Structure 1
Amino acid sequence: MSQCLNPDCLYENPQGTSFCQRCGNKIILDDRYLPIKFIGEGGFGRTFQAVDVKRLNTPCVIKQFLPQQAGSASLPKATELFQQEAQRLQELGKHPQIPDLLAFFSQDSRLYLIQEFIDGQNLLEELKTQGKFNESQIKIILTELLPILQFIHDNKVIHRDIKPENILRCKNGNLFLIDFGVSKETSSSIVTKIGTITGTPGYAPPEQFRGMVYPSSDLYSLAVTCVRLLTGHFQNADGSDPLFDTINMEWTWQKYLSLSQELTYVLETMLQDIPKKRYHSAQEVLAALNNPKIQKSVVIPPPQPSNSHKSFTEDLGNGVLLEMIAIPGGTFLMGSSKNEPKRYDSESPQHRITIQPFYMGKFTVTQAQWERVAKSPQVKDKLQPNPSSFSGKNRPVECVSWLDAQEFCARISKSTGKKYRLPSEAEWEYACRAGTTTPFYFGDNITTDLVNYDGNYPYNSGAKGKYRQQTTDVGIFPPNAFGLYDMHGNVWEWCEDDWQENYINAPTEASASINRSGSGNILRGGSWNNGARHCRSASRDSYARVNRSNYVGFRVVVSSST
């Protein structure tokens, strides 16, 4: 079908129609953009799904400027805001999670904006489909959105309308921030005064209705979005709000749910009425979310993943336990984007991978676990009970080869009846990212307070830190959103795959790539002996499967079907 753009018509014409059969209005825009479906309308106009006929019918979105208050004194301001949205998209569309601007023009005395089409659903639609979000899901949302907000604020733009409808999850699971129709460019100072009060009641912070906005104003709206997704409560038609006490002027969302101290502290800080009492940047929120030292000694309990299968603990005997975390299935983009700083060509091209649920070791295999299994009956090869250079029962075992790790898996599989194995490279990166798309699951950077690496070599102009020159006990640094520890740094981790130079012709499923054409196998995660660059989620290296080193260890996985 071809959708008529005449505001008084909107007739659905047969496919390929150039002029509306009802009103005669020209349908195709700029001789290339053909509207095919009416999506919706807001204060500034209407939105249509469309195709670009000059680019093999590539999907796109048409935004038609059609303000509800056309003819009033507010029309010049509305026109200015629509033009500003086009400018913002042109500036910010460089970010892979912000829709790109394809065109901006006037036709038949109306303004049109053409955007990249993102196939998916917004978080409000997702809430209606799946029900209330849990804590793990909210932490993943925060971890993915905060770097986007930091990018926006670094470009001196404030969104001013963060809400579930403006957060879109595409088919591969990545989140996009959309609708910059009321975004505002800041001056060189942090605060900016605006002439028109904008934003959505029930989400906008108090200062926004006084004509002032800060970067922390977006953080406030993001926190409101999170509590509404957690509780499922929104403003009523009469303006009353079950989550806000208008008498005492305070949020009451905590009475509807129970969260960890960690997330409660973060959301409460983001929701402070006075902007100076909030976090000052998205990066601060991300750090506080992952680092207990920043949260005034608030204890961080391990996040619980949202899964239909449950984590379990394997008793290896003599009081030695192996904790296995349930990792949910999903899809993700494997590898690094072309704009990720200090990336390697071996991390390209990015490709979509589908992951089935599985279990993964909460920690890398420790020396206590290794010693216990090494003393069990041999399957194929002998194992040295105490191979590590750095002694400590809770430190990761190291100086173990890929073949040693295979023997460990064979022995534990035989004794438990479950099929233990090394993770595939795709499983490892998926589990490490835990829903994030940034270089690290902590965000755009790391510090030696978060990860054990050589602090003399920070990432992307970051500050220098400690160089411990040895491994540390597992679990002393914050986990990712799946509850996995030390996926960055401490020791490199063996994967099942044989080394491939890049991802050209890579499979789209999570199984390991086995060719046995060489002697190298995949290592992931970086180590205490590497700079931060090597600790990124996408970083990969190879090592001869017979080699042993004091910076190489491993963790195990089990398929959910076993």
Structure 2
Amino acid sequence: MMHIPGYRVIRKLSQGGMSTVYLAIQISVGRVVALKVMSPHLSSDPAFGERFQREANIIGQLSHPHIIPIYDIGEHDSLNYIAMDYLSGGTVHERMAKEFTVIDALRVTREIATALDHAHEKGYIHRDIKPENILFRADGSSVLTDFGVAKAVAGGSRMTNAGQVVGTPHYMSPEQTRGKPVDGRSDLYSLGVVFYEMLTGSVPYQGDEAVAIAIKHLSAPIPILPPHCHAYQLIIDKCLAKDPDQRFQRGNDLAAMIEALETAYRTGVTATLAVTPPGAGALFKALLATFFHNLRWRMQSVLNKREEKEKDRAWFQPGDTHYAVLTDGAGEAQATVVASPSAQITQFQATAITQKPRGKRRVVTAILIGLTALAAGATWFGYQPATPDTSPIAVVEQATSSARPQFTAADSSSSHNGNNPIQNWIAETLVVEDEPVVVVPIVTSSVETSSASSAQSSEAPPPPQQYQLVVTTAPEDARVRILNIGPRYEAGMRLRPGPYHIEVSHPDYITHTKWITISDSDMHSVVTLKPTLAAGEKFTTKLINGQQSPLMVNIKPGTYIQGDDNHANTSPAHPVTVQKNFAISQYEITFAEYDVFATATYRPLPDDNRWGRQNRPVINISWQDAKEYTEWLSEMSGKVYRLPTEAEWEYAARAGTTSSWWWGDDPKEAQGSANCRRGCNSSFSGLFGTKTAPVGSFAANEFGIHDTAGNVAEWVDDCYAEDYLLQLAQQPGGSCEVRVVRGGSAKSTLEQIAATFREGINAETRSEHIGFRVVMEID
């Protein structure tokens, strides 16, 4: 048995490739702990010891009820160990194999979202959110564990060995699989995958290999939940958005939305249900209900698979009572059918898809005719509405698959004509083609009350107070949207108290979003948008030392074809969309610019190979040197500078062209356009010698950027893979030994300075032919 001084080891709890966890007692205080001991065969590798120590240091800086606490860290006989809280309730993965309810899934997701918010606030990204890393205490509360691959948001950690995947493929965000820099929103994506799995029992994207799974995370549509979970589709959509800007921006935002659902469940809502004996009419209505419920689910699945189609999610507000209730034969509620986005329900907020396929009028008309005929058939069978049971029913969770639903009208406005509730329901919901129908899953439980209280429950409660909302924008013609409700924003519109997510946008300005809360008075919010830079606009940023940043060029978003199928390491050619503005340095970083950084950070000046310094591109610097320069530049400017990604670099180098070089496909035009050894006819390089040219010695491409072909090859942020299929599955930056360089150098041939040409170079290499340029993120 394992022996650690100060601990009495009871038994082994689990074992992994890096460590073994034991149940133990901390003798000094008599405390039961989980003792995590690093595997002996890893003790000789300092990198693993450093990672083990790093996990303890990170957890030690975090204090949150849903993050595992540590009590001690030490080393004995070359074995590193951490003593932490013992969690006896097992993992989410183990719980899902037994009994796991929707309420459990909501609670766990909310608790872990708050834990992540705390970690992100402290500057740490977990990077490995999965069911196995979420454990339970004896009281049922969930706890986030295993910060072994966590990373500081602004850190440059190199602690993961080359070839080792950071994260688990089924739960990795698109940016994580592509090797892009990640922030806290990547963890929220992973948590969304876990939430989906807790609801459905399976992960959203599956495949035989890690690469296949990664590609699905990058390009496959967001999966649609089964009908009994439709109320949570908006949460899934926001968690699993491909673009981090479209996700929840903080863990607390996700937790707040879930808390609203949980509050609604606890509060409940009363509705009048009718109990009818089974018969031809009841069976017919059950068939009709099942038909419509599944029809909508299948139509929604088709809509979600339509690529490049925008989804508009509408939320309903509590208050109105225009709805019908699906019940089973015993009178238990199965689902609420909401008539339109303008209708409002009292039990909880729901989602609706307003996107409709082509030919929708014919489809809806056909459905109308069919359902009307079915409704007429119900009348022919002699259906009569049953005498309502006046017992109030508390609204709870979801429909069961074995239930046989039937319709009962529940409209406190008494606005229907006629005595057939199915016909009334069809008239209210389907004849308006421009508004969708929503099936909101619910569960009911009976509450025994006196006849007096039952009579009171049938009366509609007084509507809550509403307050005016006015959003004043600059510019005045900016568009205002309220993202978490269905109705369109209108100045002075009246809203109930609660949180509202405001988005203000304009084509020539940076979109701004924020949450506001209406409490007990009118709300006036003022939003001033920042103008975007024009395409090709050049600028510098003043540094705190009084100097200027490198000259930057603003690049607008766009789509292009990356790669070239004629070469193995540049295939397959595939479309890439640059979704946000970014700025890239007009020239390669010069000695004059780099030397300021080297002097300020007390590092040796790189050798210029006797070619000259000042406005010549800096050379003899490693990938890490370049990375640290961007971090220093960020600190000095207050902006976010970094190395370009491969996708950004090629997009800027191509400058909107599809040719081999930015100037075209004619090799003869290389003269005067690039500095290379063979084919460029450059005065700086030839068969008998090569050297770099001062930056800007050759013409710029259509984006106004110089020297993207030749002169010096340029480090980019990405890890190198042998083709783009493998590249898509690469781990985030900072975790590999071989990095990509682009653009070719003065020693390259004409073919090697093509826009698509790429090489893999060891990140520690310092070469006279490799430099870099930088990117600045635009707010």
TM-score interval, smaller chain: 0.3 to 0.5
Q: What TM-score results when the alignment is normalised by the length of structure 2?
A: 0.35
Q: What TM-score results when the alignment is normalised by the length of structure 1?
A: 0.47
